[in-house]
Structure 1
Amino acid sequence: MPNLSLKPTNKPVKAYYEALEQYAKLGVVHEGAVQTAFQQLLESCGRQFKWTLVPQYAIKRPQKQPIRMDGALVDDYNLARAYWEAKDIKDDLKKEIPKKFAAGYPKDNIIFQRPDRAILYQDGKLVMDEDITKPQGLVDVVRQFFEYRPPAIEQWERAVEEFGSRVKEHATALLELIRDQEKKNKKFIDAFADFLLLCRQSINPNLSEAAVEEMLIQHLLTERIFRSVFNNPDFAQRNIIAVEIEKVINALTSKSFSRSHFLNKLDRFYGAIEETAATIDDYAQKQDFLNRIYERFFQGFSVKVADTHGIVYTPQPIVSFMVKSVEEILQREFGKSLIDKGVHILDPFVGTGNFIIRVMREIAGIQKSALPYKYEHELHCNEVMLLPYYIAAMNIEHEYFEQAGEYKTFEGICLVDTFEDQAVQQLNLFSPANMKRVERQRQSNIFVIMGNPPYNVGQLNENDNNKNRRYTTKDKTGIDDVVSATYAKASKATNKNALSDPYVKAIRWASDRISEEGIIAFVTNNSFIEQIAFDGMRQQLEKDFDKIYVFDLGGNVRKNPKLSGTTHNVFGIQVGVSVNIFVKHRKESD
């Protein structure tokens, strides 16, 4: 069990009493002021466990307003570990606590506190009622508060510690099995060859066999998580990409290999995920939990893939701001709305679906009856990696179920490389259904493009086997060719390597994709705002768009060593970030 390092003589404890003493001198006794002293103590202690205190933490209730608690301590999987409710000195805690429980407050690890007293409930039982005017009493109750672990969480923490190494072990063993079967299992050899061809036609013509082997491994190791946590038992039979992969897996298991037997060593980890996810009632929090699982999965199993594709998920406040801003600009500049027919919306780098989900909520909030048509005909997204594609498909489909009250497959998602798609004229994708989706997207008049493109120029070292892919064609229509002919050609910089960053390609691609008019909203690396290498890009953007809004969020840790990626960057990364909205109007003909 983890221990909290806290003594009566420690600085956070002294700071707590000093703050209360200062409030007392000023005659300040109301809850809104005095609670800040305890809040700062909780924040300080939480850092030892990498927990974040979220003030005014909301807990949803069916058909009722959410409960707003004074705070909750949340871990980096977005799981609430402890709850806090503050009162002032005049409140009678013995009377207030039953009222709170009757209203639906959690009974598992919650502390009710006023300046002189703290009452702690764990597992539904009163475990401590302490006079906290004395430092030792304060330390005792706070330590009990932080060190408590319910059985499910204890199991979860142990499973997480082991997960990284276990995934590597199983991935390595699966790879050995696949390569063994490639030598002697005719059924698997044929199925794998067909699947490899389909992948090369749809994702990347230069895709290696190793990358496709990795896709199979990803599917095998994670399919149960998606099926059980999302409560979607028919997932592998219904998702058009999963169906094709399952054909190869079935060929792999046609001899002596047993999927369930092979994976039973991971049962405890799968069980811990399922049990932990079951404690989360709010589906948005469950999505975030699974996003974190996904991130950790890639860190433990496929670091190179995570790196080249820039796997970083956009904080919800930024997603909401961008969606709201697009709606505002649509109305002001075009007299349109996200709900209007004809306003096709595309996220070309969908990740796990956050932007499309937020757009759906915005549409439902404006006019719920507009969502079914928009969902079926005018929402589009692409993903090039298998796992986020799975997660996005299920997240989006579940959001539609939540909003519309019925399950309907999302036809707007494609497993395809956005940059490659525009350069390839004939594709035989995984199935006719997927081909139909890609063709439909190609034929759609996209009016809004939004999302979070990957950005990681650091992977361009020629000596690094992990460098980003270049998209060039003989007729010079590849996205790298277009960047060279526009942004690079207009630049006076000597070193133009930075223009190979995927986020630069994304802006160039989107500028062409919206054609005559529309809006692009991307959250990206902010290096293009003022660095010399991007002078030609800035000139071209000025020509291409009528209005450009750039919200520089700073956070370039490499530029300013005094900054911390953890505390000064919205993504917790090293490079600076900006939210950029580009507006293009149709040019009037002479």
Structure 2
Amino acid sequence: MGGKKLHSAIETYLGSLSETYSTGSATEHTYRPGFHKFLKTILPNDAQIINEPKQIPCGAPDFVLTFQNIPQGYIETKNLGSNLDDDRYREQISRYSESLDNLIFTNYLEFRLLRDGDLMSTVKIGTLNTDGKLIPKRENYDDLTEILTIFWEYDGQTVTSVIDLTRHMAAKTRLLETEISRTLNDDQQDGKNLYDPPGFQKTLQRQFKAFKKGLMGNLDLDTFADICAQTVAYGMFSARLHDTSPDTFTRHNANQLIPKTNPLLRKFFDEVAGNDLDSSIRWIVDDLAHLFSRANLNKLMDDYGATTQRNDPFLHFYETFLSEYDPGLRDVRGVYYTPEPIVRFMVRAVDQILCDRFHLTQGLATTTRNMKAKGNQPLVQILDPATGTGTFLATIIKEVRDKYFSTQSGIWPEYARNHLVPRLHGFEILMAPYAMAHTKLEMVLRDSGCEPDNRLGIFLTNALEDTAETIETHYPMLSEEAESAKTIKGETPVMVVIGNPPYKAESTNSGKWIEKLLTTYKQEPGGGKLQEKNPKWLNDDYVKFIRYGQYHINNSGVGILAYINNHGFLDNPTFRGMRWSLLESFDEIYIIDLHGNAKKKELAPDGSTDQNVFDIQQGVSINLFVKTGKEEGGQAQLFHYNLYGKREEKYRFLTNNNLNSINFKMVEPQAPWFFFVPKDYSFQSEYDKGINLAELFLEKSVGIVTARDRFTIYHTEGELKSAIEEFISIDDEAARRNFSLREDTRDWKVALARQDLENHFNRGEVTPVKINYRPFDNRYTYYT
């Protein structure tokens, strides 16, 4: 269209605005038909301009422009002549501009082009004077034409690095999570029937109920929206990795590209982001697909592995994504991914024990059958009950391939497909790492020369749920997943349990089955109820996972439990019943205490720095519990080694050593505490002549325990008041992130805490209380 025709189109457009404005009853929406007609006039004929009124309540941009179903850009409109810098628009525009590459923000007269969050250009083609008359600014017509041309011809930035990809991917996933959450919550707030909403809401609500009942009893709508958004993102990620025709990648073919080795992800993705996707989020999913279409994902992942010098680029991709998507999410969920030197050491140690203690010369590669098991199953069945992104299972595949088949590549594919993969099992409760684990194992197998043809043995399930029950739900794909997991939990004689279980003192895993198992640890050594006033630390998730692993090995009669976890159980007196139970169950126990406990301000024996192998404060240990089945009666032999130093030094030690080369110290745990650390008992008899402090004092207490000290305890009254003011001024999820609060528990929920504090604060009832936080350490808190 030539210059004169363009100017004429703009004049016609301004005339329609003036006519609509003169009615005196015009709103932002009233101007949209005229604006839509204007866009159709000046943009190419093949431009698709979508403005669906039903999108508006869900928060989508007002106009989505596509070419051959591929998003080109977005336009957000505000009322005629309104101030685009108004604070009312700031949050929305910030959310859109950080998530959408190509955006125009307009009040129908002023047009602002934002590219990747940055303001590229702005132009005004008219103003409203004080009399309400529209005054054209004809000298700017050509500038508007240029802005719209640049806007339409934008083809997206080519993604050249994983960092770039994760940043854009995280921003779009956050936007998707916001819109899904709004859809779910608006449906409830409008007073509609939760159990019979129409269309997209009905699908989401059905999925929400199934997940809440079968996986996460404390699941709320916002958390479920996060699950859906991350599932779409990682479904796209998995599909793109398997795309052999990269120039044609779209939402429509993504579902078919997700490997058949993960049927649950295929089905879930199809329902949330498939061909019948609801228009309220279709625009975001299409934009996410367009992002992946601009990335050569296989090359990016190869380059990322080379750049980071890590063997597991998938793990580090997920961690990088999490840091962009929601930095506090890992802390909230108690999820920490295991450094590769630790994983490799633990896998090699298990292989070595199988060879040396069980006389299985092929170690983890053993194909021997368990003649005592139902169905003559393989002997060396392996389970990671909190598999995360599948790092341990992937490392086992690599170890078996490198150690036992490096010179037998011809028989490897058949062996891996028929004799290794069927023995690898993993449980994961979070959808995003579950999807990544499937993708990782499928790619590791493919890169090794084996093309898997059956579903992989990683299941979306709560490892600690009752094995005797299957999810009763009208959501078949979760029922099928639960049935498959049930077979592993109840009928498979697991010989190796390995992994990095979550550390979470306020566990939400309080089902009857695991709580009944845990009573073994809540007894005094030898029997009788544990004489502890507050044994709450035994409820930590890592303790439950140790008990779960012990249960499997006991059922199998022989095996290895190999975990890296919180080292608190080694010498905390409260854990004496747990230690005694482990000594009774196993024949050999190997402890490598990695220390790094910032809470205890641990130092190396020579006073030098002692660092944690994770980015956490809690010290950890590698623990190998071995049950050979040879010893009847008697307690396990316990071997202990202290490893202090800087993080990289610890990594090097684990890389360069094995169980036989480590100078373990043999420990003989003694009653009544049965400590798993070396102790000097030479003066024990003299010490025992002293007076028990519990008998000396009339009153005894465990002291103040909040489980949320970073939020509830402050050095000054001013800090306390400022924290309360911030806490009640933001929404629940922002409060959870800002104050590093974990998921809600039965007795403490963020929403209720905010409501409680707000009620007291508004009535002027906030009075700081001075407490003895620790001896000689006075601080402030507040009671409601």
TM (normalized to structure 1)?
Answer: 0.63
1:360 aligns with: 397
Q: CA deviation at 1:540?
A: 1.3
- SS of the counterpart of 2:425? strand
Match of 1:295 in 2: 319
Asked if residue 575 in structure 1 is aligned to residue 655 in structure 2, the reply is: no
What RMSD, in angstroms, separates the aligned Cα atoms of the two structures? 3.7
SS of 1:419 mapped into structure 2: coil
Q: Could you tell me how far apart the structure 1 residues matched to 2:550 and 2:483 are?
A: 24
Residue deviations 1:425-475 (CA, integer Å, cap 9, x gap): 565662565345224313211011101101132xx3xxxxxxx303232xx
How far did residue 325 of structure 1 move? 0.9
> Aligned letter for 2:366?
D
Q: Does 1:532 align with 2:562?
A: no
- Alignment of structure 1 residues 83-162 onto 2, 5 Å: none
1:583 is aligned with what amino acid? V
Superposed counterparts of 1:260-409, under 5 Å:
260-261=283-284, 264=287, 271=294, 274=297, 276-277=300-301, 279-280=303-304, 288-302=312-326, 305-336=329-360, 337-341=363-367, 342-364=379-401, 365-367=403-405, 368=412, 370-409=415-454
Deviation at 1:352, TM superposition (A): 0.8
Deviation at 1:272, TM superposition (A): 6.7
For residues 230 and 424 of structure 1, what CA distance do their matches in structure 2 show? 36
Q: 1:255 and 1:153 mapped to 2: Cα distance?
A: 28
Question: For 1:251-309, what per-residue CA distance to the aligned partner results, in whole angstroms no more than 9, with x for missing partners?
Answer: 89554335345663896698579474363476996874442342344345456652343
Q: Aligned equivalents of 1:172 and 1:209: distance in 2? A: 11
Q: Which residue of 1 aligns with 2:642?
A: none
Local SS of the residue matching 2:364? coil
User: Which stretch has the larger CA shift, 237-246 or 268-277?
Assistant: 268-277
1:246 aligns with 2:269: yes
- Partner of 1:575, secondary structure, is coil
Counterpart of 2:322 in structure 1: which amino acid? F
Query: Match for 2:214 among 168, 190, 202?
Result: 202
The separation in 2 between residues aligned to 1:550 and 1:159, in whole angstroms, is: 40
| Counterpart code for 1:546 | D
Cα 1:178–1:272 shift into 2, 3 Å: farther
Question: What amino acid is the match of 2:382?
Answer: I
1:81 matched residue in structure 2? none
Q: What does the per-residue CA deviation read over 1:112-144, in whole Å, with 9 as the maximum and x for residues that have no partner?
A: xxxxxxxxxxxxxxxxxxxxxxxxxxxxxxxxx
Instruction: Determine the C-alpha separation between the residues in 2 that align with 1:257 and 1:334.
Output: 58
Task: Quote the Cα distance in structure 2 between the aligned partners of 1:472 and 1:565.
Answer: 44
Structure 1, residues 332-380: CA drift from partner, whole Å, max 9, x if none? 2222222223210111111111111111122223144643323342111
Mark the CA change 1:285 to 1:263 in structure 2 (over 3 Å): closer, same or farther.
farther
CA positional deviation for 1:315: 1.2
Q: Which residue identity does 2:265 align to in structure 1?
A: A
Deviations 1:90-129 (A, max 9, x none): xxxxxxxxxxxxxxxxxxxxxxxxxxxxxxxxxxxxxxxx
Q: Is contact 1:555–1:568 with CA below 8 Å preserved after alignment?
A: yes
- The equivalences for 1:480-559 within 5 A come to 480-487=515-522, 489-490=524-525, 491-514=530-553, 515=555, 516-559=557-600
The 8 Å contact of residues 565 and 574 in structure 1, kept in 2 or not, is answered as: no
Residue by residue, what CA displacement relative to the aligned partner does 1:371-424 show, whole Å, maximum 9, x if unpaired? 332334211111100010011001111111222432434431110010014363
Secondary structure at the residue paired with 1:257?
helix
- Matching residue's letter, 2:559: G
- Give 1:471's aligned residue: 510
- Structure with the larger helix share: 1
> TM-score, structure 2 length as denominator?
0.49
**Retained in 2: the 8 A contact 1:240–1:431?**
no
* Residue identity (%): 25
Q: Which moved more, 1:336-345 or 1:285-294?
A: 285-294
Amino acid at match of 2:226: E
Larger-Rg structure: 2
Alignment of 1:53-68 (within 5 A): none
Matched letter for residue 450 of structure 1:
I
Once residues 278 and 505 of structure 1 are traced to their aligned partners in structure 2, the CA distance between those partners, rounded to angstroms, is 37
Deviates more, 1:439-448 or 1:184-193: 184-193
Q: CA 1:164/1:386 → structure 2, altered by over 3 Å: closer, same or farther? A: closer
Secondary structure in structure 1 of the residue aligned to 2:280:
coil
How big is the shift at 1:496? 1.8
Specify the alignment match of 1:456 in structure 2.
504
Cα separation, 2, equivalents of 1:430 and 1:162:
31
- SS class of match (1:338): helix
Post-superposition CA distance 1:485-513 (Å, at most 9, x none): 43455544443221111111110111011
Q: CA deviation at 1:578?
A: 0.6
- Structure 2, unmatched stretches of 5+, are 1-156, 245-253, 368-378, 406-411, 634-784
Question: Which residue among 173, 189, 192 is the counterpart of 2:179?
Answer: 173
Aligned-pair CA distance for 1:530? 1.1
CA shift in 2, pair 1:285/1:223, >3 Å: farther
Q: 1:380 to 1:160 in 2, by over 3 A?
A: closer
Q: Which shifted more, 158-167 or 312-321? A: 158-167
Q: SS of the counterpart of 2:224?
A: helix
Structure 2 CA distance for partners of 1:344 and 1:261, relative to 1, 3 Å:
closer
Using a 3 Å threshold, how does the CA distance of structure 1 residues 227 and 181 change in structure 2: closer, same or farther? Answer: farther
Is residue 217 of structure 1 aligned with residue 229 of structure 2? yes
CA distance in structure 2 between the aligned counterparts of 1:338 and 1:157, rounded to whole angstroms: 36
Report the equivalent of 1:440. 487
Contact 2:364–2:400 (8 Å) recurs in 1 = yes
Amino acid at match of 1:327: D
Give 1:562 deviation, angstroms: 6.1
Question: What corresponds to 1:111 in structure 2?
Answer: none
1:375–1:410: 8 Å Cα contact kept in structure 2? no
Whether the aligned pair in 2 keeps the contact of 1:188 and 1:252 (CA below 8 Å) is no
Distance 1:349 1:374, change over 3 A: farther
Contact 1:167 1:300 in 2 (8 A): no
8 Å contact kept, 1:353–1:393: yes
CA distance in 2, matches of 1:424, 1:271: 45
**Partner SS for 1:420:** coil
CA distance in 2: counterparts of 1:302 and 1:180, whole angstroms: 23
